Amino acid sequence: MEDALPRLIAEDTGFITPDVVELRRRLGIPGMRVFQFAWDGNPANEHKPNNYERNLAAYTGTHDNNTLLGWRLEEATDAEAL
């Protein structure tokens, strides 16, 4: 199992409790951040690229999101669209 840990990425989006964050960090498993989740007006939002921590994978969206182009053209507000 230890040999597999560096290849795992935890899907830690949504409601995640502090004990889950601690376990992920203790095991050295990268978390994930989603660019499209960053634009809620909260400057401390963990999905904002400026707030990314080390040891994570960054995605533009997920299977539940529109494509980045579709989001930008069809869904994003002017403030979100950069």
pLDDT the model gives residue 55 = 87
Residue 38 has a pLDDT of: 92
CB neighbour list of residue 82: distance below 8 Å, 6 or more residues apart: none
pTM of the model: 0.77
Whether 56 contacts 35, CB under 8 Å: no
The 10s digit of each residue's pLDDT in 55-77 is: 899 999 988 899 989 988 998 88
pLDDT at position 12: 86
Confidence at residue 13, expressed as pLDDT on a 0 to 100 scale: 86
Tens of each residue's pLDDT in the chain, 82 residues: 667 656 788 888 889 999 999 999 998 899 999 999 998 889 999 999 999 988 899 999 988 899 989 988 998 887 776 6
Where do the domains of the chain lie? 5-75
